[in-house]
Amino acid sequence: MGAGHDHSHSSDTRVSRMIIAAAILSAFFVLELVTALLINSIALLADAGHMLTDLVAMFMGLTAVLLAKRGSSSPARTYGWHRAEVFTAVANAALLLGVAAFILYEAVERLGNAPEVPGVPMIVVALAGLAANAVVVLLLRSQSKDSLAVKGAYMEVMADTVGSIGVLIAGIVTVTTGWPYADVVVAVLVALWVLPRAIALARAALRILSESSPQHIDVNELRAALESVDGVTEVHDLHVWTLVPGKDMVTAHLTSSADTARVLDDARAVLNARGLAHATVQVEPPTSAEDCSCEAKD
């Protein structure tokens, strides 16, 4: 009872902190976007675009936490809504790529005729952004240690701090030197910094959706380890995939004439040692290796 109460309280705290963080980021996003449009700052616009992706990551994490809290599995969705997080990651990556491409296009358009952008509003908004990010980081830091969803949002906010620092530098350069291209240069740097992160996010999400084997799992080594279990003569139909980040799945058929319970225990130890706790293992006698009549699940 006590442990369940503590878990529920921790989940409630996580949700409330994420809601507060999302509200802070939403308010700052509106401020930054409106200011960017009013003063015609492409650097602020680039940072606002990145802030939008932070919000997507935040709501993605909040949704994942809420779904995990309510327990969303059903006969029609035995895995629940776990994959919603991955689909949202694809959308987030597409949004990041779109923002980066737009900013680069606008920057090229301004290379020959950079408009005058007032530096003081840039400095004020950048400082406000750093303050907002600092508050959100403090809200999520402790919770990010216990939740992958919160950790993803936390890392996005940490990364956005780079954009705010860039805008601050552009504003200071504009005020002190009057150089009109500071805004453009920072915008390009932010866009180029976002691009590889967006591509990496898209690749990771698409790898999961295609049910490829996790990069940190050597399937050949895993097969050899299972084949080395005493009594196992063959391993076939070995499949390893990722349901969501941090939750890898595996199925395997083992041919063996030894004691089934012992073989299962030894195979489970091999899988657990590699972080593959979500496993379905079937042990088959040599004379009926293709018969799936004897199944054991973990």
> Do 280 and 261 share a domain, yes or no?
yes
> Do 125 and 45 share a domain, yes or no?
yes
**What CATH number corresponds to the domain at position 258?**
3.30.70.1350
What residues pair up with 232 in beta bridges, in sequence order? 256
Structural domain total, the chain: 2
> Do 41 and 179 share a domain, yes or no?
yes
> Do 292 and 154 share a domain, yes or no?
no
Sequential pLDDT tens for the chain (298 residues)? 444 444 455 667 778 888 999 999 999 999 999 999 999 999 999 889 888 888 887 887 787 777 766 655 677 777 777 777 788 788 878 888 888 898 899 888 888 787 889 999 999 999 999 999 999 989 888 777 666 667 777 777 877 888 889 999 999 999 999 898 999 999 899 888 888 888 888 898 899 999 999 999 999 999 999 999 999 999 999 999 999 887 899 999 999 989 999 999 999 999 999 999 899 999 999 875 555 444 444 4
> Do 195 and 159 share a domain, yes or no?
yes
**What CATH number corresponds to the domain at position 183?**
1.20.1510.10
| Cα 258 from Cα 283, distance rounded (Å) | 10
144: Cβ contacts below 8 Å, ≥ 6 apart: 150, 151, 153, 154, 155
> Do 194 and 226 share a domain, yes or no?
no
Given the structure tokens 């015609």, which residue do they identify? 40
- Residue 277 is predicted with a pLDDT of 87
| Cα 160 from Cα 76, distance rounded (Å) | 39
Of 155, 177, 209, the last residue of a domain is: 209
> Do 247 and 156 share a domain, yes or no?
no
Of 188, 209, 230, the last residue of a domain is: 209
- Residue 253 is predicted with a pLDDT of 95
- Cα torsion 128, 129, 132, 138 to 10°: value is -130
Of 190, 209, 228, the last residue of a domain is: 209
| Cα 48 from Cα 87, distance rounded (Å) | 23
Q: Is residue 250 part of a domain?
A: yes
In whole angstroms, how large is the CA radius of gyration of the chain? 25
Given the structure tokens 């936490």, which residue do they identify? 65
> Do 24 and 166 share a domain, yes or no?
yes
What phi, psi does 253 have (nearest 5°)? -110, 125
Q: Is residue 214 part of a domain?
A: no
pTM: 0.75
Domain enclosing residue 147, as ranges = 2-209
